[in-house]
A and B are shown apart, each in its own frame.
Chain A
Amino acid sequence: MVDFAGFSMPVQYDSIIKEHEAVRSKAGVFDVSHMGEFLLEGEDVIDFLQYVMINDLNLLEPSKGQYSCMCFDNGTVVDDLVYYEENPNKFRMIVNAGNVEKDFQWLNEHIGSRDVKITNLSSVRSRLAFQGPKSDEYLQPLVDVDLNSINRFYFAHGNLNKAPIFIARTGYTGERGFELSIDNVYAEKTWSDLIQTGASPAGLGARDSLRLEATYSLYGHEINDSITPVEAGLFWLVKPKEGIEYIGKKILMEQKTHGTERIIVGLNLLERGIIRENFKIFKENVEIGYVTSGGYSPTLKKTIGLGLINKQYKEIGTTLEIQVRNKNLKGTVVSTPFFRNV
């Protein structure tokens, strides 16, 4: 168990590789209750989210969720998150564990005169992720919702063995699957019900190796308060939103149009070794960036990573050197995602 944003979290239940493989081959259950959950209610919720989020709420409809970032004026990231439209006046938002208080404050500071009330449900509800190719098959007998009727990024409310549950077809593993939210009183029972389906418990270690293969950004690594979504390769998230002002819009649209000096790329090693966060990247002995995330890919059985580097080296196939402790190992820029089944 490790301390993670104040929660005691299992890095692994058994073996990171076995848990990773279980999610890729059948299904895994992740306890992600450390993440934050807010409810936003009021007449002006959509108008408010259009102002603080970089993605476009016009693409949303009731029963659908959307991935987005909220940014500072300079375009760097306050947090990346998913919000779900329960109805035009009520949104559920899932945020990163380490950012719960910052986000709650940031959101409240920017409501202004709008009719928006934010409730922090993080400590009264629990969140589980149920991910893998067999997640539909395993979950369906437990719930009174037709899972086929929930398309990707949509959600429904139903019951799981009598526990009222929020079920969204979203995830962070690169596999099909669901993210669930329930009242704390049902959490333990729901966890054991889900384990009994044949799904394996999966910890933080597998969550990280799966998301790295799928090349999903992790706050504090690919995005943070000194990296913008465009630099992180999330330029598709930055929407023009004609006629709508939003925080960070000016600089992000400019970056989206003209590019940035730095950009995150996929990395492979041409020699044996493992690259990890913050290792320095060189091109002919000149430092050109650093590794934002790196590790062993259990699916591809080789070392993979993401690095923030100067844009002139971003082309696929560019060779570079990554400093692994006392020596430089040869690496190359590769296309991403490394692996995804969705």
Chain B
Amino acid sequence: MNYEFPDNLKYTKTHEWVRLEDKTATVGITDFAQHQLGDIVYIELPEKGANLERQSSAGEIESVKAVGELLMPLSGRIIEVNSTLVENPELVNSSPFSSGWMLKLEYTNELEINDLLSVEDYKRIAEEEN
């Protein structure tokens, strides 16, 4: 597979990537996920300040052919959303791990981090689904 799998990130089996920083996490969808969705044309993200549980819906990602959901990889409070995606949703296709990031959250349960996947584990899941 010719997809990118940065090894400094954590992953979920629902194709989110997570960049952990001190008490916060930046979240987006993986290169594999954007390939599966195809051309992304519309993204809806949560309100800043919202408190959301792990695995609850944090947004909708509409592509020409399908709709995907962004799920919270960790429980927490939304501290920032990438508002440039409103006008430029295609950034998720062109650079899913950098300018295509979707939200930043302040996580509330450190233990949940243990359930995130390593790059090797996520790669295996993506390969199976491909």
Residue pair A16, B67 in contact (C-beta under 8 Å): no
Q: Which residues of B contact A18 (CB under 8 A)?
A: 39
Residue pair A16, B42 in contact (C-beta under 8 Å): no
Q: Which residues of B contact A16 (CB under 8 A)?
A: 38-39, 64-65
> Within the complex, what minimum Cβ distance (angstroms) separates B1 from chain A?
15
Please judge, given known A-B contacts A272-B44, A273-B62, A274-B62, whether A12 and B38 are in contact too, CB under 8 Å: yes
Q: Which of A12, A17, A272 contacts B42 (CB 8 A)?
A: A272
In this complex, the member of A11, A12, A274, A298 whose beta carbon has the largest number of chain B beta carbons within 10 angstroms is A274
Q: Which residues of A contact B60 (CB under 8 A)?
A: 325
Residue pair A273, B42 in contact (C-beta under 8 Å): yes
Q: Which residues of B contact A295 (CB under 8 A)?
A: 64
Residue pair A205, B42 in contact (C-beta under 8 Å): no
Interface residues of B (CB under 8 A from A): 38-39, 41-42, 44, 60, 62, 64-65, 67, 86, 93
Give complex CA distance A45, B67 in Å.
47
Q: Which of A209, A274, A303 contacts B67 (CB 8 A)?
A: A274
Give complex CA distance A278, B113 in Å.
39
In this complex, the member of B62, B65, B67, B86 whose beta carbon has the largest number of chain A beta carbons within 10 angstroms is B65
Interface magnitude class on chain A: 10 to 19
Chosen A-B contacts, 18 in total, with CB atoms closer than 8 Å, are: A15-B39, A15-B93, A16-B39, A16-B64, A17-B41, A18-B39, A205-B38, A205-B64, A205-B65, A209-B64, A272-B44, A272-B86, A273-B42, A273-B44, A274-B42, A274-B62, A296-B42, A296-B62
Give complex CA distance A209, B42 in Å.
16
Q: Which residues of A contact B42 (CB under 8 A)?
A: 272-274, 296, 303
Closest chain A residue to B64, Cβ basis? A16
Residue pair A296, B38 in contact (C-beta under 8 Å): no
**In the complex, which residues 245-264 of chain A have their Cβ closer than 8 Å to any Cβ of chain B?**
none
Q: Which residues of B contact A296 (CB under 8 A)?
A: 41-42, 62, 64
Give complex CA distance A298, B38 in Å.
13
Q: Which of A17, A303, A325 contacts B39 (CB 8 A)?
A: A17
Q: Which residues of A contact B93 (CB under 8 A)?
A: 15
Closest chain A residue to B93, Cβ basis? A15
Q: Which residues of B contact A17 (CB under 8 A)?
A: 39, 41, 64
Give complex CA distance A262, B67 in Å.
29
Give complex CA distance A11, B86 in Å.
26
Give complex CA distance A15, B65 in Å.
10
Q: Which of A12, A274, A276, A325 contacts B41 (CB 8 A)?
A: A274
Give complex CA distance A298, B65 in Å.
12
> Within the complex, what minimum Cβ distance (angstroms) separates A200 from chain B?
15
Q: Which residues of B contact A303 (CB under 8 A)?
A: 42
Give complex CA distance A276, B65 in Å.
9
Give complex CA distance A15, B41 in Å.
12
Q: Which residues of A contact B64 (CB under 8 A)?
A: 16-17, 205, 209, 295-296, 298
Give complex CA distance A205, B41 in Å.
14
Q: Which residues of A contact B62 (CB under 8 A)?
A: 273-274, 296
In this complex, the member of B38, B42, B64, B67 whose beta carbon has the largest number of chain A beta carbons within 10 angstroms is B64
Q: Chain A, 10-29, contact with B by CB distance < 8 Å: what is the 0/1 string?
A: 01100111100000000000
